[in-house]
Amino acid sequence: MLTVGFIGWRGMVGSVLLQRMQEEGDFRDIDPYFFSTSQVGGEGPAAVLAAGDAGSHGTVRKSRPLGDAYDLAALRALDCIVTCQGGDYTGEVYRALRNDGWRGFWIDAASTLRMESDAILLLDPVNRDHIERGIAAGIRTFVGANCTVSLMLMAIGGLFREGLVEWVSSMTYQAASGAGAAVMEEVMRQHEVLAGISSRHLSERGGALAAESAMRVAVTESTFPTTQIGVPLSFNVLPFIDKMVEGGRSREEWKGQVEANKILGTTTIVPVDGICVRVGALRSHSQGLTIKLRRPVSLDEATELIASSNEWVRVIPNEKGETLRALTPMAVSGSLQIAIGRIHHLTMGPEYLGAFTVGDQLLWGAAEPLRRFLRMVVAR
Ligand code: NAP
């Protein structure tokens, strides 16, 4: 049975990965080992391996004590390593293992290795052929792509497949959980403080404005929780994610073009650019898309192509009630569906399409492509 080491399993992506693997019965076909960077020797995720996740030989497996995620000898013994720990960990461990001759499958959620020539980006509903060819050719490094890139390609893959996209601008609304568990917890703590203020003022006449101004004072106080984010995210939007790179772009914005084109395997670059914004939503990323098509395309044809992108795309009619009911982070979170709506021609002309899409970045934007790839490795 394939031995698989999991690192970063208690973070946002790792937790969702384990949950999905459990739902799909994936643990039946592998021999899992869990590691930690902070709790070595502690208890592994026992719930994951509880009844229902019996090994293929029929016995219920017990979780082993957590291994040391930096123990190269232990890692070297594995057929496969799945890491959702983050870029620093990948940077420290990956090269050391490879330099030591380890030829197992390295499956990673972090961005560190994405643009390496010997790494393939995972988004099998879009690039399954490429992934399969890579495995057959002996590639052993497979990396999940940036969450907004994956969600955008899942949403409008049908337009790309037909070669219709000249360029795309994506304005993102990225949820707090996209920045990790600690940030998500902090935004909830920020919310608690601010909710306490609003509850004190709302019963007064003009209470909403009084609460709003008291909150603006509260967020400047030293006790306001901002250790992770540095600023208030609750009731706020932050138009900068990650660090500055060239051209006035943030690294998150830079990833849009390079990763989308790598997944699509384009020979001529399709420009992808926009502004990436962190918002106070807890889970699921939204994107407002401006798509420049290579020729005028009727709304019916565009909608059909979008709907045919893959089995998870769900086109929401461009009308207010359905949009507000189904095209929001809260409506989409926890689901594999990729919602896309507000599809219409923009006033600039019949080659310009506007659309709004929402997808759970912890599922299709992170854990699900990794999980599905692991199944491909098991089935080899
Ligand atoms: P995360 O939630 O911060 O978890 C990463 C690790 O941080 C955990 O495995 C845990 O390691 C440690 N940790 C520290 N404080 C924690 C807490 N309060 N709760 C749980 N774990 C905590 O990171 P992530 O969002 O899952 O991201 C992992 C990687 O995937 C990153 O490279 C990220 O860029 C990438 N990614 C994330 C998303 C997303 O939507 N979040 C999407 C695509 C890609 P120990 O158990 O060893 O202490």
pLDDT tens-digit readout, 29-39: 999 999 999 99
Nearest ligand 1 atom to the CA of 182 is 18
pLDDT given at position 205: 87
The arithmetic mean of pLDDT across residues 138-144, rounded, is 98
Average pLDDT over residues 355-369: 98
Mutate to test the pocket of ligand 1, among 20, 85, 186, 333 (most ligand atoms within 8 A of CB): 85
pLDDT at residue 58 in the model: 38
pTM equals 0.95
Structure confidence at residue 206 (pLDDT): 87
> What percentage of the chain reaches a pLDDT higher than 70?
96
Q: For 11-24, what is each residue's pLDDT tens digit?
A: 999 999 999 999 99
CA distance 329 to 97: 39
Going by pLDDT thresholds of 50, 70 and 90, the confidence category of residue 376 is very high
- Ligand 1 site residues (CB inside 6 A) read 8, 10-14, 36-39, 84-87, 109-111, 144, 147, 177-178, 180-182, 185, 361-362, 365-366
pLDDT surpassing 90 at residue 372: yes
Q: What percent of the chain has pLDDT over 90?
A: 93
Q: Report, as residue numbers or ranges, the catalytic residues.
A: 147, 285
Return the pLDDT at 59: 41
User: Model confidence over 44-93: pLDDT tens digits?
Assistant: 897 666 544 444 443 445 568 999 999 999 999 999 999 999 999 999 99
pLDDT of residue 57: 42
Measured CA to CA, the distance from residue 69 to residue 36 in angstroms comes to 5
* Predicted confidence (pLDDT) per residue in 246-262, tens digit: 999 999 999 999 999 99
Distance 178 CA to ligand 1 centre (A): 9
- How many whole angstroms separate alpha carbon 176 and alpha carbon 174? 7
Q: For residue 146, give the ligand 1 atom closest to its CA.
A: 43
How far apart are alpha carbons 173 and 278 in whole angstroms?
6
Low-confidence winner among 127-136, 161-170, 194-203, 348-357 (lowest mean pLDDT): 194-203
86 CA to middle of ligand 1, Å? 6
Burial class (CB in 10 A: 0-12, 13-18, 19+), 273: middle
Please report the pLDDT score of residue 56 as a whole number.
46
* pLDDT, tens digit (0-9, with 9 covering 90-100), for 206-257: 899 999 999 999 999 999 999 999 999 999 999 999 999 999 999 999 999 9
Q: Tens digit of pLDDT for each residue in 175-208?
A: 999 999 999 999 999 999 999 999 999 888 889 9
Q: What average pLDDT does range 335-340 have in this prediction? A: 98
Ramachandran class of 331: left when φ > 0, alpha when ψ lies in -120 to 50, beta otherwise: alpha
Backbone angles phi, psi at 280, to 5 degrees: -80, 5
Task: Look at residue 278 and give its three-state secondary structure.
Answer: strand
